[in-house]
Amino acid sequence: MKELSDLVELIKQGEVAESIETVKRIIDDIAVEQIIGVMTKAMRELGERFEKKEVFIPELLVASDVISELMPLLEPYIRKRNMQRKTVVIGTVEGDIHEIGKNIVSIVLKAEGYNVIDLGTDVGIDTFLAAASKQEASIIGLSTLMTTTMHVQQDLIEELVAQGGRDSFFVIIGGAPVSRKWAERIGADAYCDDAFSTAALLNSLS
């Protein structure tokens, strides 16, 4: 279907209006999974170019804008087909309002078909845990860009342990000052460099 291949390019170029128009035109004629497949393909192709340093954050953001605008159009169709999706609760930890990296992870995971509950920035531990429990999430993603707020990732894991709920969640951490070594030190399940490696890792768990 030509519209689907066009849509891949429209998403990659960040063309919001044309993408919405295209999806509205075809949504009743094809399975919603195909459109999610297109979003996945577009973001994976951008991810490959991001890995090679051919595209950067501005290009990812404008493409992410398209995914954000398309998701509300797709949601009723997703519900109708009763698609099984893993739920990810994600946010930037308390004290930190950096959001670009977290937003891109959020969008890429949505494009991969995950049910993503994005709690935003400056999110307290209680808010993370309450949302993860209420939404029956299996994955918690904790982002921070600052050395000064890294400890909140540790605090949340310690709180999970204290509450006896550590085994209920796969806790993944990310952010510029964070490393695999830090993940091991604080008892996180995984550390990822970027949105695309996060998606690849979570997909490998399925």
Partner 1 sequence: MTSYQRVMTALGGGKPDRVPVMVFNRDWTVNHLGFSASDMLGNAERFVFAQYYCARSFGYDVVQDAHGINAESEAMGCRLTYTEDFQLKLDNNPVKDLDNDLADLEIADPHKDGRLPLLLNQTSRLKELSGSELVVNSYVQAPFRHAAMLRGNDIYRDIIRNREKLYELLEITLANQVVYATALVHAGADVIAVSDPTSSGDVVSPGQWLEIGHRYVKELVRYIKKTGAKVYLHICGDTSDRLDTFATLGIDGISLDEKVDLERARKTLGDKMCIIGNVGTTNMLVNRPEEIAEESLMCIEKAGGNGSFILCTGCGISKDCPPDNIAAMVKTASAHHY
Quote the distance between the C-alpha of residue 121 and its chain's center.
Answer: 14
Is there a contact between 132 and 89 (Cβ–Cβ < 8 Å)?
A: yes
Q: Which is nearer to partner 1, 148 or 163 (CB)?
A: 148
Give the separation between CA 148 and CA 139, rounded to whole angstroms: 24
Closest to 202 (Cα-Cα) out of 180, 178, 175, 169 = 169
- In this structure, how many other beta carbons lie within 10 angstroms of the beta carbon of residue 69? 14
Q: Coil, helix or strand for 191?
A: strand
Q: Which amino acid appears at position 156 of this protein?
A: L
Q: Say whether residue 77 binds partner 1 (CB under 8 A).
A: no
How many residues of this chain bind partner 1 (CB under 8 A)? 30
Contact residue for partner 1 among 42, 150, 156, 160 (CB under 8 A): 150
Q: Please report the DSSP string for 97-139 in residue order.
A: ---HHHHHHHHHHHHTT-EEEE--SSB-HHHHHHHHHHTT-SE
Residues 1-30 that bind partner 1 (CB under 8 A): 14
Residues 166-195 that bind partner 1 (CB under 8 A): 176-179, 181-182, 185
Q: Which is nearer to partner 1, 3 or 194 (CB)?
A: 194
Q: Which is nearer to partner 1, 35 or 188 (CB)?
A: 188
Binding mask 93-112 for partner 1 (x = CB under 8 A): -xxxx-xx--x---------
Stretch that binds partner 1, among 34-42, 76-84, 129-137, 141-149 (CB under 8 A): 141-149
- In this structure, how many other beta carbons lie within 10 angstroms of the beta carbon of residue 176? 14
For the record, the structure tokens of 86 come out as 């893993």
Contact residue for partner 1 among 18, 65, 159, 189 (CB under 8 A): 65
Structural element, H or E, at residue 170: strand 170-174
Q: Which is nearer to partner 1, 97 or 130 (CB)?
A: 97
Shortest separation between residue 64's beta carbon and partner 1, angstroms: 10
Contact residue for partner 1 among 81, 136, 148, 205 (CB under 8 A): 148
Q: Which residues bind partner 1 (CB under 8 A)?
A: 14, 53, 55-59, 61-62, 65, 94-97, 99-100, 103, 122, 147-151, 176-179, 181-182, 185
